[in-house]
Structure 1
């Protein structure tokens, strides 16, 4: 919230961005919200996803950062006027700048461990040296700059004012926080050793780290856990000390009007040009009914990992598995397990942790829940998540496609023309969670082997035994941000090893952070920890998932060391500081001054006696056991639709399915041929160059009647008085094959299937064209597609249909914002005698 209290500024990105160094450094969006009206306006794309971004001060001036370079060694500093929602200036700083703070006399921040003032051209002037590594900086209206840093086991609060830096107090290293708001700056936590009476600085007691405080400091938020439709909160009133736990529903207030990716963004800069490349770079396509992976439940994933790490993942997949046309195979025969240097197995909990962080244990698109099939999960199929597009649905740039597939985000070998894998194996990686786990496990082993066998010498943690989870800290570091071999050192000034981005000493992560998932709500803010810290957190604290009976489950905890007190033994924040990367842990304010390639680390280090302290795997499934049954969220709708409930019925219904080749339905329901033709037309007019953009937000789902449907989101028309959207329009058409001879006035009750999930638009407008020779005045029926989680049929009305009759539904509506699902599922045409049913009647 800005100093005036009138605006809030938000920086946000898809959660997958926290697994991509480039996206963390420059892949987030920023918007300003008018707190009186709820109006949100987009202000910038491609900003840093970091705990200190955005930075507000005593006025409505806001600072945003963008990290530049391989490891974020340079910084763009954007100055924003929240009142006008405009970026007023951008300065490039030749240093890693963290914790910026706008003040009445200029802009401050931390660079090279120093408190610096940023000049108009981006030049830095050092004004003071904090006591330790600073993690919070905030200015006051009176011209003071407060900061808090970590020095050893202490948090040190200081104030810079009048040309001098003075200490204002100390506290435990993780129990003293600095917040700012309209009421001034506030030190929160163990404040027994903090001076009182300073202008614009209050103290608030708290017995733990807190998430936020209210603007005037009357309420502390101790816990904030986002849910799908609410935020669960634990709060404490600062005056009375009264605690309350509950949830706030996500609704009932003003609807935010910030344009979503793919919508026009005011003041967002020049329009992005179309990419020259028009051929997909990723080997396995989207929206292909032959490529529809099955979404496993957590028990299936844990079983596959337990088997895979011990080379027992040999479940037999039949020919034409999931209707892919593949020959029969076994996952670890298609992807033989790589030999592991200095040991025999990857710990199961380590592999599960990587899958949890990368994809939440999902093989198919996140639109599909366990028990569904869906499009392949691809990290960036269209190349529109990298800068400058940053998620815009109006951009396709296949040159920037990431092509990470499935539960393990397998990228290597998954581009068009790659020869690492055969075409059948590429398909297996995309559709089969077990095959994907077998392939991604090998990638992790390759990282361990790179560190262990590099020509520069073995990079080893503790005793180097791969049985211990903690000994993989460097390998998962390299798994995320890469390893720079010794043989290539001449290209990097003689340096090699692992980079600065994931070093726990990097000040882009708060120095007062506790271990990841010490508070389970940490999962909502994963950008505050380095990747290996997150993996160790998921290994220590298993991820939860749904069961089919509405309860939750989780994969097994590791076997903890005898003296570990149920925790993994993690490295110190400065564990990877040594002369090889110009890092000196004895200088807490600035251990690694260069902030560039010189901070790359290599070597061996010890932080635990693994025989007593380290964790090992715990198998939940016996080796050689059978693949467990799926734990569905929604039951399949495999029931035959006979129209028996229609009292006007005189003949069997005609059913038009969403695939003309019903042999591609892959969930196992018994299904006959479609009684007509189903088509999807993209763009307006369809077939034009811009029509390809509609495919970005078009999704297939193994749900609905008999296990296949399509859905997209509802978008507004391009013009206020129009009815079309050039880039995002999707029109579905169901055309029944009217039997010959054609009765002159045969009436049909038309019934549309509403899926249990994937359709939510409450004003879905179906157009019925009974006579192809008279298209100018179609009948309409408006339905609410929400079903409360159950598959249902609803009447569209009764009509006399002639040969060529059809029903259409499109995703364009003036109220659409690109965020609510609209589904295209099967439609039945029931021959009737009599009046039939009216629009909206329940079947």
Structure 2
């Protein structure tokens, strides 16, 4: 009779970890919210393998297509890519960022060269869009290899406008720099992406946009025409257009396709060759804000978005049924339709990389796909400083002593990294409360002297120091306008981005180190001089008067020291100071005779001019010179796409590319669609109250029309005309009738010499909403109507201010400074010193990547990012050393306090000086415990004054992503040398299978869906090594004793890892999940008394073997390639006898070499599956698997004999087979799991449905193992 099996269809695909994966007051109601990111369960990062033929088409494996996209967060501007042949499995190929900038988000643009092998990228902090000169020529640039992720940073800076860089023909790209208001010129750099070099700049008069390389030279956009630009900057007429062309794309036939506009209509147009007066054909039309254009790297151009009419298209142009802003893969086989922050169930904190949802459409099948990607990768090249990061002396500078985090030569008034001065991070409700009170002149909350350890000598009130300015015409600032400014300037942050509401840290300072984005050539008049840079502080990024006295910029007067300090440390005072600037700009524009709409201050739209002036200043009238509001923020400026919709109206993904909108547009957008703000770890809410309108159409009209501030009779701006500077001919440039006499750009203002200078500055009133009572937004003052009291402080990451609870323990903290938060400091018995790495010129880049947080033990810790130890990174090295204030002798346990955040590394290597300088020990631990926790480095014998050192360097450390924290150290006296036990091995030793998430230590069960961060070692509190009961402990388990640290007789270390193979235990090899190998952790040493171990199951390929037996009948007769040729019934015994046992023997020898006096308990494996009629494995295969278990047991017994007799190593084999008799998977009772789903955070994020706990002991099974271990302890006299 054939035996039947019943299987769950959801668990038929098994190729997964079985033994373990072998890979690694009441407020008013709010108006409706804007579109938001989906809150669905996160998708995997690749397509479902079982559905790829259906989704991608039958030949997807043969495709060489690569899809790519970009996304930015506080950790960098990330380049993501996915190969079609991998089922479009998304990965982060690099992350681009620069040290020295307080960036809440990195933004940028990118384009692919014609080969599809290289990207050219422009990137910068988001706040660069708030400064005209940084927007125009402050972006960093780099080339990125789409296959390898290799980064080469370029010595060129770029505008952040949407069109730079521009790719087209071959491996070249064009980078654009602007100096429109200061010089009335544009510079173009042609980049060879393959060589990562740039040619000499081409300087062009006027404002040239959308430059791209073609087979016949550079083609760019002027108002009303396309032009070519030669190597000497001569602009020649190419083709006439209706208005300013935008989104220029080359096609593979040598043509140029672009968007043009006529009123509210957009047109897709093409010239078929780059030749003077080339005929222009119209290919399609559609609504201005709904029609788009994109291209694949191989020269196919795609019409995207909504079309009203399409003509017959040439072969190199196609219509794609995808949203307007979609981008194409290098061969056009997949369109990325949207990239936005993923609203996963577990929200990450702002300083961490943010998961993104990538939506796509497959061209061949028309099917949609969605992916979730955590954009992280080891990326030292992407995070290394740009060659443009220099000052007059060369490179970014942090000065002073190598032993202090302070910078003696800093220009800004309030320092970073002063442990005695930490800045409190407010909650979003506190910010809105302060704004609501400030705009009504009532922000008079009393701040007591030394509020939050601020160092303020006397009490103060925010608007006592910075009183409100009455508005001309009466009224007050709408709260949402001020809140919109705060959102754009600082993300509602007063302290650095690493601090959550309720936590304190460094002040938020825009450019504390004076980092220069250009070279040191004083003759280069395109430089931004960072030595004169603003010191922008806090939530409003207030700059005026915030430099040290004697270090002011020309024309600046430093504020009194107490006002500087108050503005830096107190968000409410900072808001009061920033509000005065906005109020002053209202009055300044009003007094110039300028009003928006009806000029009533209550309506948010009427603040458009004041916001414009707040950002880029107001040029006072001076004779016949141009005056008013500058060109940079004019809606007609071609730096902004003509087809843009109002900022955030399409969803919060607009915030990923803020460079597409002018500053006032962004502020009105933030007022209409408030920022999503972090309230506490994992909690994100709307940052403040919304504006409301009578209908959504009026909400959309918060943005005026593009040409409202472009009127020929008022500011010499004509949207229907073109103007070109008419400077005299350069004798070195051949005369060209296409340039001489032609007009470039919509700005027709001339300077005193008669040259067009692009100073079409606006100084007139304007109306786009005639009746504000029915058309303008209505603000809400939530906390003043009626009055609501001061909002409570945040509670994120409370500090650990409790005694350690260990008798006689001596604590050495990282500082003696008082805590900013409520905290009873515990005594400090030593000192903490720092050593900062420098470059050859004595500059300390290491200080820039160094931070303080008001959390952890005693309310303070330091952290920096982890780097690999190599010559290029020495200047980033930070070493912290704790030294006890007295000598000690005898046995002591060393403890490390790890904070609940800001500590991520899994390779924190502590060096312990136990006496004379030559007596040093090393211990490597995981800091990612995610709780305020004392972690043991083990017991050691001391003789002298001890010290402990930790650096942010280590073997194979991450390239600048993971945090290394320095908090506190403790020395606990022990009355004797303890029994020192180390638990090593694989999943059967780690405790795999013992009960879901709650069973495992957090640092070993985390980030399963993200390979770069995943740890699935699954070390469990129920592991059998913790359940052993040594005779001396009167029935108490090892785990019970080890957990309280108050018994001098035991020191237990647990380093086993699920999935381990023999080589992953040995020193010098590759560890698992970002950890070092188990013997490289340092806990197995000459003082070790006992090592417990299970190893060999993964060497025997139990995972693929069990997978085969679940999926196929008679698996013993089938071949598994990982095991070897031939049927399993032959190949697996051969593998065990010839290789597995040898591997285990070599591993035990390696343990003995480290710990020559240690006894070793080698634990075996039970019979995994009981023969049963209803089971995932057939009856006959279960019998055969039992035979394999017996074979492995017998081989281990022989190994025990050989190692004792031949190798003289005291090995005791512990056999669990009898204890588990009848209780394997499918047994009764069942003490080994059958197939289990992915129930733990460490389970990987692929499509396969089987979790790591499958075919591992249950909690009760591990208790049985504990009994076997206890018996073994008796055998060896323990």
TM-score strictly above 0.5: yes
Correspondent of 1:314 among 426, 444, 453: 444
> Residue 262 of structure 1 is aligned with which of 372, 385, 393?
385
Q: Which deviations, in whole Å up to 9, do the C-alpha atoms of 1:769-825 show, x marking residues without a partner?
A: 111xx21341111122212x3222211222233443111111233645334321111
Higher helix share: 2
Aligned to 1:572: 705
Partner of 1:177: 292
CA offset at residue 147 of structure 1?
A: 1.2
Q: Which of 821, 838, 844 is 1:667 aligned to?
A: 821
Which is worse superposed, 747-756 or 237-246? 237-246
1:397, 1:602 → 2: CA distance? 29
Corresponding residue of 1:462: 597
1:735 Cα shift? 0.9
Equivalent residue number for residue 505 of structure 1? 636
Q: Give 2:1211's aligned residue.
A: none
Q: How does 1:652-663 map to 2 (within 5 A)?
A: 652-661=808-817
Where 2:221 maps in the other structure, the secondary structure is strand
Which is further off, 534-543 or 472-481? 472-481
Query: CA offsets per residue over residues 522-572 of structure 1, 9 Å max, x none?
Result: 001000000000000000001112334744321111132468555553311
Determine helix, strand or coil for the equivalent of 1:344.
Answer: coil
Aligned to 2:355: 230
1:604 aligns with 765
Contact map agreement 2:391 2:519 (CA 8 A) in 1: no
- Report if the CA contact (8 A) 1:274-1:396 is conserved: no
Alignment of 1:196 with 2:312, yes or no, is yes
- 8 Å contact from structure 2 (residues 436, 781) kept in 1: yes
Displacement, 1:132?
Answer: 2.1
Residues 71 and 500, structure 1, Cα contact 8 Å, conserved in 2 = no
Q: Measured at CA, do residues 38 and 593 of structure 1 come closer, stay the same or move farther in structure 2, by a change above 3 Å?
A: same
Alignment of 1:713-724 (within 5 A): 713-717=865-869, 719=871
1:341 aligns with 2:341: no
d(CA) in 1 for partners of 2:710, 2:474: 27
* Number of the residue aligned with 2:890: 746
Write the mapping of 1:9-48 to structure 2, written as runs, cut at 5 A. Answer: 9-48=120-159
Structure 2 vs 1, CA of residues 270 and 408 (structure 1 numbering), >3 Å: closer, same or farther? closer
Q: Which residue of 2 aligns with 1:165?
A: 280
Between the aligned partners of 1:689 and 1:322, the Cα distance in structure 2 is 38
Structure 1 position 822 matched with structure 2 position 822 = no
**Between 565-574 and 582-591, the greater mean CA deviation after superposition:** 582-591
Residue 646 of structure 1 is matched in structure 2 by none
Per the normalisation by structure 2, the TM-score is 0.60
Which residue, 208, 219, 222 being the options, matches 2:334? Answer: 219
In the superposition, relative to structure 1, how do residues 400 and 696 fare at CA in structure 2: closer, same or farther (>3 Å)?
A: farther
Tell me the alpha carbon deviations over residues 375-433 of structure 1, each in whole angstroms, 9 at most, x when there is no partner. Answer: 0101101110543489xxxx998723320100000101111126553211111100111
Please give the secondary structure, in 1, of the residue aligned with 2:631: coil
Q: Say whether the 8 Å CA contact 1:133–1:151 is kept in structure 2.
A: no
What residue in structure 2 maps to residue 55 of structure 1? 166
Q: 1:815 to 1:478 in 2, by over 3 A?
A: farther
Distance 1:265 1:690 in 2: 19
CA 484–545 in structure 1, closer or farther in 2 if over 3 Å, else same? same
What per-residue deviation string (whole Å, max 9, x for no partner) do you get for residues 653-701 of structure 1?
111111124xx2111111133111111122359xx96254322221111
Q: 1:806 aligns with which of 947, 963, 971?
A: 947
Which residue of 2 is the match for residue 647 of structure 1?
none
Q: Alpha-carbon deviation of 1:597?
A: 4.7
Contact kept, 8 Å, 1:191 with 1:205, in 2: the verdict is no
Q: Post-superposition shift, 1:255?
A: 4.6
Distance change (3 Å), C-alpha of 1:458 and 1:209: same
Structure 2 Cα separation of the partners of residues 692 and 641 of structure 1: 35
Q: Which one has a larger percent strand, Structure 1 or Structure 2?
A: 1
Residue 858 of structure 2 is matched in structure 1 by 706
* Cα distance in 2, alignment partners of residues 550 and 819 from structure 1: 20
Q: Which moved more, 1:594-603 or 1:25-34?
A: 594-603
Map 1:674-713 → 2, pairs under 5 A: 674-683=828-837, 690-713=842-865
- Greater alpha carbon shift after TM alignment, 255-264 vs 439-448: 255-264
Tell me if the contact between 2:223 and 2:245 (Cα under 8 Å) persists in the aligned partners: no
Whether the 8 Å contact between 1:561 and 1:611 is mirrored in structure 2 is no
The answer (yes or no) to whether the contact 1:294–1:371 under 8 Å persists in 2 is yes
Q: What secondary structure, in the 3-state scheme, does the structure 2 residue paired with 1:443 have?
A: helix
Question: Which among 92, 106, 122 is matched to residue 203 of structure 2?
Answer: 92
SS of equivalent residue, structure 1 residue 235:
strand
Q: Deviations over 1:66-89 (max 9, x none)?
A: 112536732221111111111134
Runs of 5+ consecutive residues of structure 1 not aligned to the other structure: 644-650
Structure 1 residue 191: Cα displacement: 3.8
* Match in the other structure for 1:592: 747
Q: 1:638 aligns with which of 801, 818, 828?
A: 801
| 1:837 is aligned to 2:1051 | yes
Partner residue, 1:66: 177
1:399 paired to 2:531? yes
C-alpha distance in structure 2 between counterparts of 1:257 and 1:653, whole Å: 40
Aligned twin of 1:620: 782
Alpha-carbon distance in structure 1 between the residues aligned to 2:691 and 2:310: 41
8 Å contact from structure 1 (residues 654, 830) kept in 2: yes
Is the CA contact 2:463–2:576 (under 8 Å) kept in the aligned structure 1?
yes
Q: Summarize the Cα distance change of 1:231–1:274 in structure 2 as closer, same or farther, 3 Å threshold.
A: closer
Write the distance in 2 (CA, Å) between the matches of 1:620 and 1:238: 49
Q: Does 2:566 correspond to 1:422?
A: no
Partner of 1:78: 189
Match of 2:243 among 114, 129, 132: 132
Distance in 2, Cα, partners of 1:638 & 1:113: 68
Counterpart in 2 of 1:299? 429
The change in CA–CA distance for 1:400 and 1:226 in structure 2 (over 3 A counts) is: farther
- Partner Cα distance (1:133, 1:753) in 2: 61
Q: Which has the larger radius of gyration?
A: 2
* CA distance in structure 2 between the partners assigned to 1:389 and 1:224 by the alignment: 38
Separation in 2 of the partners of 1:567 and 1:69?
29
CA deviation string 1:238-281 (max 9, x = no partner): 45443334412325xx7545342437799x99992677997322
Q: Does 1:514 align with 2:645?
A: yes
Relative to the length of structure 1, the TM-score reads: 0.90
2:212 to 98, 101, 109: 101
Match of residue 272 from structure 1: 394
Counterpart of 2:920? 778
Q: Which aligned pairs between 1:432-471 and structure 2 lie closer than 5 A?
A: 432-453=570-591, 457-471=592-606
- 8 Å contact from structure 1 (residues 709, 823) kept in 2: yes
Aligned length: 806
Structure 1 pair 511–565 and aligned structure 2 pair: CA distance change class (3 A): closer
Q: CA deviation at 1:232?
A: 0.9
